[in-house]
Structure 1
């Protein structure tokens, strides 16, 4: 019996890189689906609660508050205890939030809540709790990273994030039809059931990488030696605080945070904001707005991460990042100039291509630059970077409040500015890489 098989059998090691990738993707796909819910259903709830455009902007952003901020501790904790327990905890919290949302929506629709302020506060509260599912991104990135060697990081993380990010696109596209067929409560209940089922699937097939399984049996030093024999290249620091502090001391981490703020945080923001843009700026129906957001934008963005990861493996994450952010800026300028459906469609697709590839390129660079603290770096980049999803929708709503109808187009200036800044940062990383070869 080969030595590898002997080690696996002797220590009862379960799982493989392939099953790890599948399990992590399933968990992220299920958890991330929450981001699509408020963007569509807010149009049903907002009139009942008499919400203005700023309040709508904050409501669609609220799942991203916890979805972003909780990525920092949860991502770092993977270095300490492995991803399995962390991801399960996040999904269970998301289920609790979904139950709270269902009960709150039922109370609003049946007028059991007499105060619109109370209804709004409860939606914000349970939306934040449900948004914990979105934070599975960071823990999942670290979870998958430990399963794969550096040369396959682009492929693995591109596939993980690409298919996982497809959730908002798919759900945004089908949600209008679910609302028509099942009603608001039925649609939310169906998603909650889906989340429970996917959590059960992850429980069955999701195992931590070799080191985390071995360290429970033989201690750190021996676990590290055996894990490396089995092909695991990344070994965690073993402490969440240490992982966060080590990654925070590396200046490149902070360039990646800003780059991710506009590519992935911006992706989350537009998944929530575009239904409002399409319906209010270009007067599309809710079903068509869902299709344009879910399929034409969100799904394309998500799936572009898959080839984006392959491009990053082949031509380096730095080069791919430079090109992808240039594409993003071009798309944002088109959106700023657009006042009709055709031009907005072109701009949306261009932005989707650039953002999807950029997201893959950034996370190709995370384990490359911070191999000793992947969980911590993932937490910073995924958490603070995702804050774009929290801050951008209210900022775009502010453009509308200040400039009126044209503000829907002018708001895309945010993507032009931060996209240009990201091009500069990607060039700095490219220069740094070649200087130290």
Structure 2
């Protein structure tokens, strides 16, 4: 029975390219929440008068749920496919955006005080749930594609989806002029609802999960899906997926690398607008453009090519080279008092982080082929936790050193880059060669 006959017999929908497109679209919709507070942090701060530490926690709030929820939701894909976890995370985000928009319409600007910080922080947490779609889309994409195309597919997924914070970082400050802060968030809320409806209408899980939902037993579902080109299959329940991946030593090395590359990316996407505004006195809209074009969007597009580089040279070698680039960028930013040189440092870090993000997730299905969803949950969740941890630390540097703390804070990235280079070398020497049989 040929491919078309199998698809018709079991009434299966979608194909790898459509699966990639919808997973990327869904990730784009949810991931925009990274820029929820960062580009407009100064607008909140002028009214609420927050110290550096509280400001750091606020801009990082979406990244807390956006990172920790990746663990169970990424593993859930191995049981239910990606569509249901995606829609659940979208629903949580919609609740958060509705609450935040309501607060702003009722209290902004005259009655918005520091006493309302916990509520604004809470709605930021809920809105950030969409960020966790990343670890859902990774296994969803992995199940659609064969092993030899994983690097390109995941690089395209992560790279194009990653453009959302940069694009929203550009749009949000401009929207403030015409719509005001409440109107800007109301528009974002509508965008989220419409995007969720589009994903619900057109997204499809990989063939294996479609067959299971139609009542086909697991053995037959695997047989049919294999004939249709699917190579990766889940090994058990959500808990089993997490346990299996947790027992692979390389999983924890990848967590450490992703803490620097993607957690660091999230942190700087929220922090760079504040850095440019406070350290160089640049306007809000210009700061948003610098963050987006010089870092966020740049890193996202380079991530697409980073997948190709990882396919060609191997994920471990690519990771080592990329973290060396991050190291150079962090040193430039620490030492620079010049706008042009600091911009160069931002660009260098964007290049390094973009390639590193692709390299790390090239290694996920390689190291843990039996439970890529579980591994994606650990790596994506705990790794992305850096997006919540790092901004408050950067805020402490500002509280401790004043204005110069904005540049000295990049010492954090120097340390993380060196640590990640060492970890990458350990993975290459001890685990890389045996990863497929782990």
TM-score bracket relative to the smaller structure: over 0.9
1:52 corresponds in structure 2 to: 51
Alignment partners' CA distance in 1, 2:433 and 2:232: 25
Tell me the CA shift for residue 403 of structure 1: 1.9
Tell me the CA shift for residue 190 of structure 1: 1.2
Tell me the CA shift for residue 15 of structure 1: 0.8
Specify the SS of the correspondent of 1:232: coil
TM-score, length of structure 2 as denominator length: 0.97
Alignment partners' CA distance in 1, 2:284 and 2:40: 10
CA separation of 1:221/1:153 partners in 2, compared to 1, >3 Å: closer, same or farther?
A: same
- Match status 1:172 vs 2:158: no
1:399 corresponds in structure 2 to: 397
- Give 2:306's match in structure 1, choosing from 297, 305, 308: 308
Following TM superposition, where does structure 1 have runs of at least 4 consecutive aligned residues deviating by more than 6 angstroms?
none
Alignment partners' CA distance in 1, 2:390 and 2:66: 14
Alignment partners' CA distance in 2, 1:110 and 1:4: 60
Specify the SS of the correspondent of 2:36: helix
1:192 corresponds in structure 2 to: 189
Task: Give the number of equivalent residue pairs.
Answer: 434
Alignment partners' CA distance in 2, 1:112 and 1:270: 30
Structure 1 segment 111-126 matched on structure 2, within 5 A: 111=110, 116-117=114-115, 119-126=116-123
Alignment partners' CA distance in 2, 1:336 and 1:88: 42
2:253 corresponds in structure 1 to: 255
CA separation of 1:111/1:406 partners in 2, compared to 1, >3 Å: closer, same or farther?
A: closer
Tell me the CA shift for residue 108 of structure 1: 2.5
1:77 corresponds in structure 2 to: 76
Tell me the CA shift for residue 238 of structure 1: 3.0
CA separation of 1:435/1:66 partners in 2, compared to 1, >3 Å: closer, same or farther?
A: closer
2:39 corresponds in structure 1 to: 40
Tell me the CA shift for residue 51 of structure 1: 1.4
Tell me the CA shift for residue 376 of structure 1: 0.5
Residues 305-350 of structure 1, C-alpha deviations (whole Å, 9 max, x = no match): 1000011111111111111111111111111111120110010000
- Match status 1:289 vs 2:268: no
- Give 1:213's match in structure 2, choosing from 202, 206, 210: 210
Structure 1 segment 147-166 matched on structure 2, within 5 A: 147-166=144-163
Tell me the CA shift for residue 436 of structure 1: 4.3
Alignment partners' CA distance in 2, 1:185 and 1:362: 38
Alignment partners' CA distance in 2, 1:436 and 1:156: 23
User: Which is further off, 210-219 or 25-34?
Assistant: 210-219
TM-score, length of structure 1 as denominator length: 0.97
CA separation of 1:40/1:108 partners in 2, compared to 1, >3 Å: closer, same or farther?
A: farther
1:31 corresponds in structure 2 to: 30
Tell me the CA shift for residue 116 of structure 1: 2.9
CA separation of 1:340/1:73 partners in 2, compared to 1, >3 Å: closer, same or farther?
A: same
Q: Is this contact kept in 1: 2:327–2:413, CA < 8 A?
A: yes
- Give 1:336's match in structure 2, choosing from 325, 334, 337: 334
Tell me the CA shift for residue 434 of structure 1: 6.4
Tell me the CA shift for residue 112 of structure 1: 5.2
Q: Is this contact kept in 1: 2:262–2:353, CA < 8 A?
A: yes
1:128 corresponds in structure 2 to: 125
